[in-house]
Amino acid sequence: MQKTWHIIADANSFYASVEKVFRPELRDKPVVVLSNNDGIIVALSPEAKAIGLKRGDAYHLIKDLAQKHDTQFFSSNFILYYDFSRRIEQIIRRNFEHVEKYSIDEMFITYYSSLNVNDLRKILSKVRQEILDETKIKVSFGAAPTKTLAKVMNQYSKKDNRYNGVSILHDMSKLKTALEKFFVGDVWGIGRQSTKKLETYNIRTAWEFSQRNDAWIRKNFNITGLRTAKELRGVPVVQIGDITESKQSILCSRSFPKAIENVDDIRAALADFVEEVGEKLRKQQSVCRNVSVFVVTAAPKHRIHGDSFWTQVELPYFANDTITLTRSAMIGLQLLLKPGVKYKKAGVTVTNLIPETNLQFNLWQDTSKILKFRTLYKKIDFVNTSVGYVRLGVQNPDNAVHAFRQNLKSPNYTTDIRQVPKIDMDKPLKDSD
């Protein structure tokens, strides 16, 4: 009899693991990846967790402690991470037909098969070894009758070496045992506020939550909470979109390291912000109708804060391509800038968002041009997350006065021919190499 398995593949400590691939001397050492501007910890290796470091810790507060343990810090290198993500996805897709990419380091697999659990375990172990051989990244698999339970089993496969990276819930009589040991706050779909609320009802495990009656759960945690409870009971009801709801507005803003007076520099900065907003719009498959621009002046000596100026521009049609968004943003910026004034901050927000699939055109719109832009930016997004950067003329990446501080960034080993690692063939390799 054919059975439906929901499987999740999750790369272990992904960012930190990628940084270790080309630095074998860091194999067993603590590795930390920092946020944009090298501000806080966004990812860390198991060794870094073991010395007490946590995601969200401020770099300047833990720097001395971490260095005592010979910790290696890296600035975020998303080009490198996206390329490794793409390689892992390719390996998974050549082994499975139904794959949904959930995040940069996670993929859901729906597998229809009459194989027994041992055969399924062999298949997942084989794919896991292929990924390790080809990318040097360890991936853990969790399999179960539902996506939420697959996430639970994945946590067991990551934290318990006895599973060898593959954990499968095939016997529902063992469901209670699995959920009684699982903290409710770690359940996929249960956020921080819901966790606090559950603790007021003395509910601390996934099993305790799943056993509450439907009426109580829906009253206190709405339909999303009820779906999660049903999934924990083994009833598949959750789709990816139920968890990753689209944002209704998207903002990108940044304070400049120093006040900017040059108009071209401000335009270049805003164009970079628009590019980031456009990428997020396309990622969630939305289009927008309004673009808002704001700037903040540098504060004069007798004041703490500068003045803020804001304007909104309506697009000629719903769009998500960076060219259309940038044109409108530049119109708005032109209305705000004043000669001789220095600006400390700028930003852009897109609003009036609808799903891309709901977009309808009227008789006066050049639909061929709109669709060409959409196709173009699918290609550009691929290039920007895999092999390099495509920029508009208004942007100035070589002189970005607003650029992130990334003093600890690793090379783009796999996407930039100038940064490919070099090997001296006349030099004998060490055992660690």
Least confident residue range of 121-125, 245-249, 274-278, 340-344: 245-249
Nearest residue to 347 (alpha-carbon basis) of 317, 315, 309: 309
Measured distance CA(297)–CA(143) in Å, rounded? 54
Q: Which pLDDT tens digit goes with each residue over 264-300?
A: 888 998 998 998 898 888 888 888 899 999 999 988 8
The mean per-residue pLDDT over the stretch 45-58 comes to: 90
Query: What mean pLDDT comes out for the span 224-246?
Result: 79
pLDDT at 431: 55
User: Is pLDDT above 90 for 432?
Assistant: no
Looking at residues 304-308, what average pLDDT do you find?
81
> What is the crossing angle of helices 214-232 and 147-159, to 10°?
60
Over residues 53-94, the pLDDT tens digits come to 988 888 888 888 888 888 999 988 888 898 899 999 999 999
SS3 of 2, please? Answer: coil
Q: What is the pLDDT of residue 423?
A: 73
Confidence band (pLDDT; 50, 70, 90) for 417? Answer: confident
> What span, in angstroms and rounded, lies between the C-alpha atoms of 5 and 184?
23
Give the CA-trace dihedral at 335, 340, 346, 350, to 10 degrees. Answer: 10
Instruction: Give the chain's domains with CATH numbers.
Output: 1-170+403-433 (3.30.70.270), 174-245 (1.10.150.20), 250-399 (3.30.1490.100)
Report the pLDDT value the prediction gives residue 323, as an integer from 0 to 100. Answer: 87
Look up the pTM and report it.
0.71
Do the beta carbons of residue 432 and residue 26 sit within 8 Å? no
| Beta bridge partner(s), residue 41 | 34
**What pLDDT score does 430 carry?**
61
Report the alpha-carbon distance of residue 237 to residue 226 in Å, rounded. 10
Q: What is the mean pLDDT of the chain?
A: 86
Q: Cα–Cα distance between 123 and 95 in angstroms, integer?
A: 9
Residue 94's pLDDT is 94
Lowest-confidence region among 30-39, 174-183, 307-316, 320-329: 30-39
Q: How far apart are CA 39 and CA 59, in angstroms?
A: 6
**Rounded to an integer, what distance in angstroms lies between the CA atom of residue 46 and that of residue 26?**
12
What is residue 428's predicted lDDT score, i.e. its pLDDT? 67
